[in-house]
A = this chain, B = another copy of it.
């Protein structure tokens, strides 16, 4: 819980009304990715303010950012900093962290395929059980 306050202090980031509101929201909804619209709606900031705060948080590795259906979504990161992959539900934004790398095998084959290196896109997408059952 002191986690992110420390980062703010270390980087001399002012604790303003909207930044705090956005961080609180992201922490509360840490188990999923949320859209800029939901963020703007729930904290009632200007869109540009929200975008600027989120950009700042991402630069300082406090949040994740990913694209779902052509729009950016955001999720709290502080509590789990080791590199890992996510399974993300494209219906509800649910975030499931993987404790293994799905690309290990591909990595090995990379060389023989004419590829120098391979982007482990951190985020993989699907439909979670809940959303699948509801549809």
- What residues make up the interface of A, taking CB atoms closer than 8 Å to B? 87, 89-90, 94, 96, 98, 102-103, 105-106, 110, 113-119, 121, 124-133
Contacts A102-B105, A106-B102; is A131 near B116 (CB within 8 Å)? yes
Question: Which residues does chain B contribute within 8 Å of A94, judged by CB atoms?
Answer: 114
A133 to B113, CA, bound (A): 15
* Shortest CB distance A1–B (Å): 26
Number of copies: 2
Closest beta carbon of chain B to A28's beta carbon, Å: 20
Tell me, in angstroms, the Cα distance from A135 to B8 when the chains sit together: 36
Of the A-B pairs whose beta carbons lie under 8 Å apart in the complex, a sample of 26, sorted by A's number, is A87-B113, A87-B115, A87-B118, A89-B115, A90-B119, A96-B114, A98-B113, A102-B103, A102-B106, A105-B105, A106-B124, A110-B126, A114-B128, A114-B129, A115-B127, A115-B128, A116-B127, A116-B128, A116-B129, A116-B130, A116-B131, A116-B132, A117-B127, A118-B125, A118-B126, A119-B125
Which residue of B98, B121, B129, B130 is within 8 Å of A124 (Cβ)? B121
